[in-house]
Amino acid sequence: MANKDEHELSSDTESVRHKFIDRIFHWTAGVLIIILLLSAFLPILGIKFDWLPWHWVSGVLLLFVLTFHIVRALFFQNFLNMIPKTDDIRELLFLSVKSSDPQKYNAAQKFYHLITAASVLVLAITGAFMLVKIDTPLWNRNPAILSDDQWGIIYVLHGLSSLVLIFLVIVHTYFTLIPEHRQFLISMIKDSGPKWARKKKND
């Protein structure tokens, strides 16, 4: 079994764990995703209102925000920090990690981000297709770009990913609020936070 300390939060702090622009991205994307989920599912649960303008406007804004994040992660940040590696699988399985390098993100954070990124990307791409089915002040609808069968696949992918996202949002909210993760929550609000989520081995 792994040494318990290996999986504990480092008490080291740095001046900025998440830069201001990344914190703005996080909370903007979070608010937009909440609006998208509520505008999609409240009418299904029986709370009727004119949900479509809320949904498509939030969706378009999220597309812009996501594009910004992807460009920033790929070209201005070390995106390898967020890619799960062999040690992350070992950490998830409660096995001892082999590398002695400390990690900014632990295994749970990396895998959570990976699954969230995948489901949000599927939602964004299928949602972008669905935008052409509605008339807006910015464009006119043109549903003929895909066949009925192809639209059916788009709807299914959009729906399944949204169900995955409901699960992820609930789990994210719970793990954010537990006392052990208080420093991570603060680091997403203020200019300080733990430098490492997984400490250096034998630290």
Partner 1 sequence: MDLFRFSKDVFGQKMLVGVNWDFIWVPIFLAGLLILAHIILRVFVKHE
Q: Return the number of the residue (171 or 185) whose C-beta is nearest partner 1.
A: 171
Cα–chain center distance at 134: 27
Residue type for 4, please? K
DSSP 89: H
21 near partner 1, judged by CB under 8 A: no
CB 107 within 8 A of CB 149: no
Least distance CB 73 / partner 1 (angstroms): 26
From the list 37-45, 132-140, 183-191, 192-200, the region that binds partner 1 by CB under 8 A is 37-45
| Residue 143 lies near partner 1 (rule: CB under 8 A) | no
177 binds partner 1 (CB under 8 A): no
Residue among 27, 64, 79, 155 that touches partner 1 (CB under 8 A): 155
Nearer to partner 1, 83 or 153 (CB): 153
# binding residues, partner 1 (CB under 8 A): 21
Residue partners of 163: CB distance under 8 A and separation at least 6:
none
**Locus of tokens 């008490």:** 11
Q: What is the DSSP string of 126-154?
A: HHHHHHTTS--SS----GGGS-HHHHHHH
| Distance between CA atoms of residues 167 and 99, nearest Å | 32
Q: Which of residues 43-72 bind partner 1 (CB under 8 A)?
A: 44-45
The contact set with partner 1 (CB under 8 A) reads 41, 44-45, 148-149, 152-153, 155-156, 158-160, 163-164, 166-167, 170-171, 174-175, 178
